[in-house]
A = this chain, B = another copy of it.
C-alpha cells in the first residue's frame, strides 16, 4: 500500500489538510511531474492537458507549497529589504514604494530593521539569504569605515554568486546595483540657497556616526560655503537623528551667537532643531533660518513649512525594485537621482536687526 495516502479518517477530518501536487495529480490520473510542468507553464505538456490541470488545481484550491518549491530549486517570490530605521519616514516611503511595486509582480517583501548597526545588518542579511529570497535591497547610508561593511559585502557576494540579486539605495561602498541620491549636489543646493538669501554665518549640524551620506552632504555644503570668503560656517558635531539635533542645536546656539542659518542634514533632524528653537522662543525664519534634507512628508506639514531638498523617495524605491527584477551579471548599474530645492517658510533673508 502506498505510503502516500493521507492519514485515514475514521471520523471526518477536522483539520482540512492542504491539497498537494500529488493530490491534483491523482485526481487527474497523471503524474506529479505533469502537474508541476503544467502549473509552472513549462514546455512539455500538451495544451489541453495543461488546461485540464490548471482547472482541476484551481477547483481543488491547490496552492503550491513555497518551501517545497524553493527547496527543490524553484523560483522564490520573496524580496528582502533592509532599512536603517523603519519608523523614519525616509525609509517608510521607500519601503512603501517597494511593497507596492512588489505586489504588482506577485512578490512579497520581508522588511528588516538594522538600526544603523553593521552587526545587526549582517545578521539580517544572513537571515534573508537563509530564506533564499530572490533579491535583497539595502536602503540607507553606508559606513565610512570599509571594515564595517566588509562582512556584509562578503555575504552578499556569496548570495549573488548563487543567483541572488542585490541592490542598494543611497549606498556607495557596496559593489552592487545602486540607486544613488546625489547627496553632494543636494548639499551644494542648500548652501547656495542660503548664501543667495544673504546668510554669512551658518552652523551645520552633523558629522557624527561615520555615515557616507553625512559626509557627502557636508562635502556638498562645504564646496559652496568654502568658496565664499564672506561666509563663516561651523560644523557642530551631531548624530544623524532628531534627538541628536535637539542636543546639538542648544550647544550650537550658545557657541555661535551670531548665527543666522541652521543647516541640518535631514528633515528628521530639522524637527528636533525646530523643537529647541520653539522652546527657546526663537522665531523661524525671523531669528534663524532652518533647512533639512529629503523632503519627507511632514516637511510640508511643519510650521513653518520646512525648506529642504527633495529626493524622490517613492521613485527611488521603485527604481531599486526595477534593478533587482531585471537581472544582469555585468558591472554594477547605477541610477543617480538628483534633488530639487523645495523652498518653504523656514528660510528667509537674515534679519538685519540681529
Contacts and interface: CB of A to CB of B under 8 A. Distances in A.
Interface of A: 14-18, 61, 63-68, 70-71, 78, 86-87, 89, 92-93, 95-96, 99-100, 103, 108-113, 124, 126-132, 155, 157-158, 161-163, 271, 274-275, 278, 297-298, 301-304
Contact of A161 (B16, B112, B128, B278): B16
Contact of A63 (B64, B129, B297): B129
A154 to B, nearest CB: 8
21 contacts: A15-B161, A15-B162, A15-B163, A16-B157, A17-B158, A17-B162, A18-B129, A18-B130, A63-B129, A66-B131, A66-B132, A67-B67, A86-B99, A87-B96, A87-B297, A89-B92, A96-B113, A108-B110, A108-B112, A110-B111, A303-B304
A67 B71 contact: yes
A131 B113 CA distance: 21
Q: Which among A100, A131, A271 has the highest number of chain B CB atoms within 10 Å? A: A131
A129 B18 CA distance: 9
**What 4 A-B pairs come out closest when comparing CB atoms?**
A303-B303, A63-B130, A16-B158, A67-B67
Nearest to A122: B61
Nearest to A81: B111
A1 to B, nearest CB: 23
A87 B16 CA distance: 35
A63 B162 contact: no
Contacts of A63: 126-127, 129-130
A17 B132 CA distance: 12
Contacts of A18: 129-130, 158, 162
Q: Which among A67, A96, A127, A157 has the highest number of chain B CB atoms within 10 Å? A: A67
B93 A87 contact: yes
Contacts of A304: 303
Nearest to A158: B16
Nearest to A163: B15
A271 B66 contact: no
A113 B249 CA distance: 38
Q: Which among A71, A126, A155 has the highest number of chain B CB atoms within 10 Å? A: A71
Contact of A16 (B61, B92, B162): B162
A16 B157 CA distance: 8
A70 B67 CA distance: 7
A130 B271 contact: no
A310 B330 CA distance: 52
Nearest to A274: B301
A132 B18 CA distance: 10
Contacts of A70: 67
A64 B130 contact: yes
Given A18-B129, A63-B127, A63-B130, 15 more contacts: A15-B158, A16-B157, A18-B130, A63-B129, A66-B67, A67-B68, A67-B132, A71-B71, A86-B96, A89-B89, A92-B92, A96-B113, A110-B110, A275-B301, A303-B303
A327 to B, nearest CB: 15
Contacts of A127: 63, 108
A66 to B, nearest CB: 5
